[in-house]
């Protein structure tokens, strides 16, 4: 049996290729939108991709199923009854797909979504025992898939389904079976997912907190601790239900000069610039009103939290490679309206256009400011778990996802230092505050990591 896991850094998406080189066939499970990795793996191992399986309709990334179907002709399979608008071959509980020595058994496991499936894998060359389970978004390493994405009216039913799928449908498999989920750390399809890319059923049954609960506790935990829902999730779900646009059908991306950039921004408030440079470069000078989402493995995750999916976007970076990488990353999460790009800020500055400024303050300067000015606001935008590990005594806690959706109760001339763990999210938050009209905003370089290293007080 051939088995390969593919990981999208930053998004926590995991996809798979299963096949049999002797038989010459393979299937791809939960493909990402950019499909070259699967085509290369199939060619390298002398296999033809003859099937594409989606364990469920995804909410956090645009599927590559349509793209892979175009390139290979392979049919798309989903769980029977899946609410999509394109042709697919339905998979029912107990169905089998056999490719040489590889057997895939379909297990209906609703819970994350109503029509979700898991795949039980057997290497017939070694025996008739199930070795691995691809659990989709039902069971993660250290957590489970959130049940709320199908809609609030289905939440109670989905919680019951998830409990039944975990304990009854997966209950027939022994402890030694390996677990390979569709997501790892970084995904917002579940809370508290481990960075480990696989586990075993036995280990999860003993250590996963959701396996330690009776149904009432299970329901209470899921209702109380649902992760926040990024603003692009609904768009992604709808796109994956309708059928994804093919990348060759997307509009071209043009280089913008200062004049065309100004016209672009004036056309609509939904036309925006995403500045991909590092925090200090953005702080020194940037095009007013732009978002600073620096190039990093999780850039697409934060775009999905900050930028409306219907926005038209210009990207600004120091080089063409960052632009190319960003286009790939952002298209994975549904941002197809990328109109153009700008390389560097020199042309904007030489055209005598106005620039914005976001002061970067060190933790030492912040410590001095707090000793002198009792009314200086420190806004901590880390998540709840990070906040609980220790924070500045005077700080106000407002996680970045909440800041995006609500205002802060203070005057526009209030002096505000924004802090996160390392300085990445604080620049995103500070650029949002600047857009909202706050005049005296600072981003703390190095964040709470350097505050702790310096030995300053935390509570």
Token readout for 35 is 């499909």
Q: How many other CB atoms are found less than 10 A from the CB of residue 303?
A: 25
> Considering only CA atoms, which of 361, 322, 362 is closest in space to residue 344?
322
Q: Which of 13, 20, 261, 420 is catalytic?
A: 420
**Residue that the structure tokens 């959706």 belong to:** 405
Distance CA 402, CA 40 (A): 41
**Known catalytic residue at 20:** no
3-class SS letters over the chain? CEEEEEEECCCCEEEEEEEECCCCEEEEECCCCCCHHHHHHHHHCCCEEEEEECCCCCCCCCCCHHHHHHHHCCCEEEECCCCCCCCCEEECCCCEEEECCEEEEEEECCCCCCCCEEEEEEECCCCCCCCEEEEECCEECCEECCCCCCCHHHHHHHHHHHHHHHHHHHHHCCCCCEEEECECCCCCCCCCCCCCCCEEHHHHHHHCHHHHCCHHHHHHHHHHCCCCCCCCHHHHHHHHHHCCCCHHHCCCCEECCHHHHHHHHHHCCCEEEEECCCHHHHHHCECCCCEECCCCCCHHHHHHHHCCCCCEEEEEECCHHHHHHHHHHHHHCCCCCEEEEEECCHHHHHCCCCCECCCEECHHHHHHHHHHCCCCEEEECCCHHHHHCCCCCCCEECCHHHHHHCCCCCCCCCEEEEECCCCHHHHHHHHHHHHCCCCEEEEECCHHHHHHHCCCCCC
Active site residues: 420
């Amino acid at each position: 049996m051939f088995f390969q896991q593919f990981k999208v850094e930053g998004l926590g998406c995991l996809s798979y290729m299963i096949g049999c080189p002797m038989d010459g066939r393979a299937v791809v499970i939960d493909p990402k939108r950019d499909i070259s990795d699967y085509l290369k793996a199939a060619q390298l191992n002398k296999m033809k991709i003859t099937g594409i399986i989606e364990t469920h309709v995804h909410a956090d990334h645009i599927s590559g199923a349509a793209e892979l179907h175009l390139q290979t002709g392979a049919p798309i399979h989903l769980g029977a009854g899946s609410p999509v608008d394109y042709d697919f071959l339905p998979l029912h509980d107990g169905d089998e797909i056999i490719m040489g020595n590889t057997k895939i058994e379909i297990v209906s496991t609703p819970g994350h979504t109503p029509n979700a499936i898991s795949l039980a894998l057997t290497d017939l060359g070694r025996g008739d025992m199930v070795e691995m389970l691809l659990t989709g978004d039902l069971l993660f390493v250290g957590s489970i898939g959130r049940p709320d994405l199908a809609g609030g009216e289905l939440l109670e039913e989905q919680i019951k389904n998830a409990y039944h799928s975990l304990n009854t449908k997966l209950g027939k498999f022994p402890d030694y079976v390996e677990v390979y989920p569709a997501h790892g750390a970084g995904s917002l399809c579940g809370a508290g997912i481990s960075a480990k890319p696989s586990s075993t059923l036995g280990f999860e049954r003993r250590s996963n907190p959701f396996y330690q609960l009776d149904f009432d506790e299970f329901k209470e935990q899921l209702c109380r601790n649902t992760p926040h829902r990024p603003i692009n999730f609904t768009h992604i779900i709808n796109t994956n239900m309708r059928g994804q646009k093919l990348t060759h059908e997307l509009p071209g991306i043009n280089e913008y000069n200062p004049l065309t950039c100004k016209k672009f921004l004036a056309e609509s408030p939904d036309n925006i610039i995403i500045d991909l440079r590092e925090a200090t470069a953005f702080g020194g000078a940037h095009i007013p009103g732009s978002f600073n989402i620096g190039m990093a493995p999780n850039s697409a995750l934060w775009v999905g939290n900050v930028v409306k999916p219907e926005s038209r976007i210009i990207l600004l970076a120091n080089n063409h490679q960052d632009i190319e990488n960003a286009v790939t990353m952002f298209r994975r999460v549904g941002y197809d309206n990328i109109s153009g790009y700008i390389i560097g800020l020199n042309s904007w500055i030489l055209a005598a256009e106005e620039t914005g400024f976001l002061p970067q303050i060190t933790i030492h300067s912040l410590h001095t400011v707090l000793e002198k000015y009792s009314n200086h606001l420190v806004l901590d935008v880390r998540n709840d778990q990070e906040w609980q590990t220790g924070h500045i005594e005077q700080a106000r806690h407002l996680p970045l996802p909440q800041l995006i959706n609500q205002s802060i109760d203070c005057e526009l001339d209030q002096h505000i230092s924004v802090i996160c763990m390392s300085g990445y999210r604080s620049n995103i938050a500070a650029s949002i505050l600047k857009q909202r009209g706050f005049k005296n905003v600072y981003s703390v370089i190095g964040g709470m990591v350097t505050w702790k290293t310096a030995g300053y007080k935390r509570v």
